[in-house]
Amino acid sequence: MLHWVYISKNRQDILKIALSDDISKCLSEMKMDEQIIYLRPFKLPFDALAHKHLLGDLSKASVLFLIKKNQKETERLLRSVTII
């Protein structure tokens, strides 16, 4: 089982950092004005939770840098999750 850390953004550019064990369910329940802009899987729940807390402690500029740096990987993961 994978544990997912993701960042979503709404139309007002408000970022939300979250953790899920079922990313497909999150995608299907996501509001129309939200989109996932960062996605990272973890095998261990402790690692996922630690990463979520790390993201929450970083500055907004650092989080935006990570989002941009991992954009292609996020897009690849989103495509693979929606195919499953």
The correct CATH number of 3-83 out of 3.40.50.300, 3.60.21.10, 3.40.1440.10, 3.10.20.30 is 3.40.1440.10
- pTM of the prediction? 0.93
- Give me the pLDDT at residue 44, please: 98
Q: Which two tokens stand for residue 8?
A: 């979503």
Residue 74, Cα to own-chain centre: how many angstroms? Answer: 8
- Residue 83: per-residue pLDDT: 62
pLDDT for 66: 97
Mind listing the pLDDT tens digit for each residue in 23-58? 999 888 888 889 999 999 999 999 999 999 999 999
CA 31 centroid distance within chain: 15
The full set of domain ranges for the chain reads 3-83
Burial 2-17 (b: 16+ CB within 10 A, else e): ebbbbbbbeeeeeeeb
Question: What pairs with residue 42 in β-bridges?
Answer: 3
Q: How confident is the model over 49-68, as pLDDT tens digits? A: 999 999 999 999 999 999 99
